[in-house]
């Protein structure tokens, strides 16, 4: 990197040498991660852990045998392409929900039902077998989670998956048209148009990478653009998109349903690393949802390429008049990362990343600007205060405090939002930084129990530390990450536990277990292809097409043997007639690459060509009974 690619030193605010991280510091980031992290001498010493009795707060993460956690956590799985379910405060991983990537345990990507959700090519094989989930968020009602759905992004192939929170399964996946690098995602919290609808009806998706629209081999990157996408929460169809300047990173929504925002780190629209960090300030881009929906309704849109999705113009040039603007580009310091909504509904907070600052934006003022009541858009910023090096994401405790991860400092900083606003307004006696704690190491996302809801309860704080280095037994070169649990209930944060996780979770949410009532058993009638009675079992042939219908009831399959002919095009449907909670069966066919699970009263099917003659012992893979090993069926494929 040559000298003139270095960002210019900050001159507007006198915040000392920690004001900005320059290019050289970022290049040296690997070194930061590899060295032994000591608290920076310029930051306050981390709290040493007082005894639980002194804290009087959430305290212990330990559960006695048989005790249950009091919170659910939904964690994105990163490039394992799944969503993980943790119990909090124990931090125990309870299950994984496969979404974008096949899963050998349950047969996700093996059964016809899951393949249909994942998407297939003309030959019936999966369209994609990889994914990269970053952000998982759940549906809202009255500002709190309502237990219906969660959504997660796939950054690699620009897909959004929905998870049903009654069964903890992915039930729909939608690919966003003309989007690459779909990153931030957030459901709205109520309807901006119909005041009576107080629950999630839309999910907003940010496109991070700019590309030619429609995509074509165009070298001139100044012609590339990004889109911000709205997906219907129920149908999962794409409702509309907004063409923007710059890019989208993370996404946030207001509690009144009126605003969504994305932080932008590449307002430069650079195609190279150094270009993306050449400007001193980037933006937090606001979307006026009601106006966008009105523009779509009024037909003020175009379409791109083969996509029929309405695309409205959200570029700066087209949105100069506040009274008609669909978008507002609020200038915030250098390559900001997260944008998070405070639980009181008043503020969005943008973390600075390459600036050591947190920016507080007052949402009422953003609405004033859209109403033509605020002269300067810049005055929506009510605080821009120094927090530490590499601020990324922010959580809340419901008591007016924010907790921001400092990637480069390997710390979490607790700060008071009102005090920060006072400080920014000129009251230099306002102490807004309340505490700092070392985490291990290089934290990315952070979240508190119920953090981005009106019911933020300030008990548990989890931090996704990207590097674990020396915290766990060495297992070769690829280290786990470290999900750390902090007691945030007292004045001082107290680090309570380290948990290794397989790479690599990003964002997560933590909410009270009472908000969900998961079902233990499926409903037979929900499956149109259910084999409802063992008497319906058998081999049904129409020429080469063969349908094998089976049921399971511990410890046997309804067919003890069946015959096929080589070359048969087989669909095998299995209904589990066991009605008891926890009584799942697996069905594996050796040499046919087939294994899947059927839960109580669930039906699943697989299709394959019987191309290998011989005897194949279909067997149950899921321990179900004392005679589990005997639970078999004989598939004889005649030559």
**Residues near ligand CUA (CB under 6 A):** 554-555, 585, 620, 622-625, 628, 631
- Listed as own residue / partner, the contacts of 612-615 with beta carbons closer than 8 Å and 24 or more positions apart are 612/566, 612/637, 613/566, 613/637, 613/638, 613/639
Contact 533, 575 (CB under 8 A): no
Rank residues 510 and 584 by Cβ distance to ligand CUA and give the closer one: 584
Rank residues 282 and 409 by Cβ distance to Ca ion and give the closer one: 282
Rank residues 229 and 633 by Cβ distance to ligand K7E and give the closer one: 229
Site string for ligand K7E, 409-448 (x = CB under 6 A): -----------------------------------xx---
Rank residues 508 and 522 by Cβ distance to ligand CUA and give the closer one: 522
- Residue partners of 38: CB distance under 8 A and separation at least 6: none
Sign of CA dihedral 271, 274, 278, 284: positive
Cα dihedral 585→590→594→600 (10° resolution):
-10
Distance CA 421, CA 417 (A): 6
Quick one: which of 506, 512, 585, 622 contacts ligand K7E (CB under 6 A)?
506
Rank residues 335 and 621 by Cβ distance to Ca ion and give the closer one: 335
**Nearest distance from residue 261's CB to Ca ion, in Å?**
17
Quick one: which of 19, 84, 135, 190 contacts ligand K7E (CB under 6 A)?
135
Rank residues 398 and 444 by Cβ distance to ligand K7E and give the closer one: 444
Quick one: which of 319, 335, 357, 394 contacts Ca ion (CB under 5 A)?
335
447 binds, among Ca ion, ligand K7E, ligand CUA, none (CB under 5 to 8 A by kind): none
**Nearest distance from residue 392's CB to ligand K7E, in Å?**
5
Phi, psi angles (nearest 5°) of residue 55: -85, -35
Quick one: which of 507, 568, 578, 602 contacts ligand K7E (CB under 6 A)?
507
Which residues 279-308 are close enough to bind Ca ion by CB under 5 A?
A: 282
- Residue partners of 187: CB distance under 8 A and separation at least 6: 137, 138, 139, 140, 149, 151, 200, 202, 203, 204, 233, 253
Q: Which stretch binds Ca ion (CB under 5 A): 262-270, 309-317, 495-503, 610-618?
A: 262-270
**Nearest distance from residue 444's CB to ligand K7E, in Å?**
3
Rank residues 250 and 554 by Cβ distance to ligand CUA and give the closer one: 554
Q: In Å, what is the CA distance from 154 to each residue of 225, 281, 441, 538?
A: 19, 28, 25, 40
Contact 212, 251 (CB under 8 A): no
Query: Looking at beta carbons, which residue is closest to ligand K7E?
Result: 444
- Residue partners of 46: CB distance under 8 A and separation at least 6: 39, 411, 436, 437, 438
Contact 227, 210 (CB under 8 A): no
**Nearest distance from residue 4's CB to Ca ion, in Å?**
17
Total of residues contacting Ca ion (CB under 5 A)? 3
Beta bridge partners of 461: 448, 486
Distance CA 347, CA 340 (A): 8
245: contact with Ca ion by CB under 5 A: no
181 binds, among Ca ion, ligand K7E, ligand CUA, none (CB under 5 to 8 A by kind): none
**Nearest distance from residue 337's CB to ligand K7E, in Å?**
6
> Token pair 């270009």 is at which residue?
275
Cα dihedral 207→210→214→217 (10° resolution):
-140
What residues make contact with ligand K7E under the rule CB under 6 A? 134-135, 183, 250, 337, 392-393, 444-445, 506-507
What residues make contact with Ca ion under the rule CB under 5 A? 265, 282, 335
């Amino acid at each position: 990197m040559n000298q003139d690619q270095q960002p210019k030193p900050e001159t507007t605010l006198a915040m000392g040498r920690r004001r900005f991280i320059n290019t050289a510091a970022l290049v040296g980031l690997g070194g930061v991660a590899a060295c032994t992290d000591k608290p920076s001498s310029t930051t306050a010493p981390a709290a040493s852990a007082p005894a639980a009795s002194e804290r009087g707060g959430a305290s212990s993460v330990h559960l006695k045998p048989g005790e249950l956690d009091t919170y659910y956590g939904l964690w994105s799985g990163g490039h394992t392409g799944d969503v993980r379910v943790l119990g909090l405060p124990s931090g125990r991983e309870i299950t994984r929900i496969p979404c974008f990537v096949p899963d050998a345990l349950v047969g996700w990507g093996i059964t016809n039902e899951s393949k249909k959700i994942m998407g297939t090519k003309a030959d019936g094989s999966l369209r994609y077998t990889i994914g990269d989930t970053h952000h998982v968020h759940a549906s809202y009602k009255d500002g709190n989670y309502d237990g219906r759905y969660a959504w997660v992004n796939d950054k690699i192939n620009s897909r959004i998956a929905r998870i049903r929170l009654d069964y903890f399964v992915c039930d729909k996946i939608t690919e966003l048209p003309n989007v690459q690098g779909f990153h931030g995602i957030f459901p709205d919290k109520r309807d901006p148009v119909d005041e009576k609808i107080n629950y999630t009806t839309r999910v907003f998706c940010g496109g991070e990478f700019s590309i030619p629209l429609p995509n074509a081999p165009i070298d001139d990157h100044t012609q590339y653009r990004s889109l911000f996408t709205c997906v219907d929460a129920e149908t999962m169809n794409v409702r509309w998109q907004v063409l923007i300047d710059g890019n989208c990173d993370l996404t946030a929504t207001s509690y009144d349903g009126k605003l969504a925002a994305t932080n932008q780190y590449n307002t430069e629209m650079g195609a190279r690393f150094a270009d993306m960090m050449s400007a001193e300030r980037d933006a937090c881009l606001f979307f006026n949802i009601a106006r966008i929906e009105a523009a779509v309704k009024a037909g003020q849109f175009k379409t791109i390429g083969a996509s029929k999705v309405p695309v409205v113009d959200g570029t700066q040039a087209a949105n100069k008049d506040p009274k008609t603007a669909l978008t507002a580009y609020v200038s915030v310091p250098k390559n900001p990362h997260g944008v998070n909504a405070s639980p009181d509904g008043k503020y969005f907070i943008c973390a600075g990343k390459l600036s050591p600052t947190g920016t507080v934006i007052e949402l009422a003022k953003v609405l004033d600007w859209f109403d033509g009541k605020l002269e300067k858009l810049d005055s929506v910023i009510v605080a821009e205060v120094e927090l530490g090096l590499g601020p990324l994401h922010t959580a809340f405790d419901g008591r007016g405090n924010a907790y921001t991860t400092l990637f480069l400092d390997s710390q979490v900083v607790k700060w008071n939002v009102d005090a920060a606003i006072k400080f920014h307004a000129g009251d230099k006696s306002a102490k807004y930084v309340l505490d700092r704690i070392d985490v291990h190491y290089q934290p990315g996302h952070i979240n508190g129990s119920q953090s981005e809801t009106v019911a933020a309860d300030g008990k548990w704080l989890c931090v996704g530390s990207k590097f674990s280095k020396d915290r766990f037994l060495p297992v070769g070169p690829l280290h786990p990450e470290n999900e750390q649990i902090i007691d945030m209930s007292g004045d001082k944060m107290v680090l309570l536990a380290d948990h290794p996780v397989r790479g690599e979770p990003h964002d997560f949410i933590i909410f009270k277990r009472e908000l969900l009532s998961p079902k233990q058993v499926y409903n037979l009638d929900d499956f149109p292809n259910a084999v409802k009675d063992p008497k319906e079992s058998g081999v049904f042939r129409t020429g080469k097409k063969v349908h094998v219908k089976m049921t399971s009831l511990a410890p046997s399959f309804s067919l003890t043997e069946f015959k096929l002919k080589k070359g048969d095009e087989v669909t095998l449907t299995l209904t589990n007639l066991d009605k008891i909670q926890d009584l799942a069966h697996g069905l594996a066919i050796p040499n046919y690459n087939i294994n899947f699970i059927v839960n109580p009263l669930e039906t699943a099917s697989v299709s394959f060509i019987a191309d290998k003659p011989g005897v194949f012992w279909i067997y149950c893979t899921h321990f179900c009974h004392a005679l589990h090993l005997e639970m078999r069926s004989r598939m004889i494929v005649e030559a």
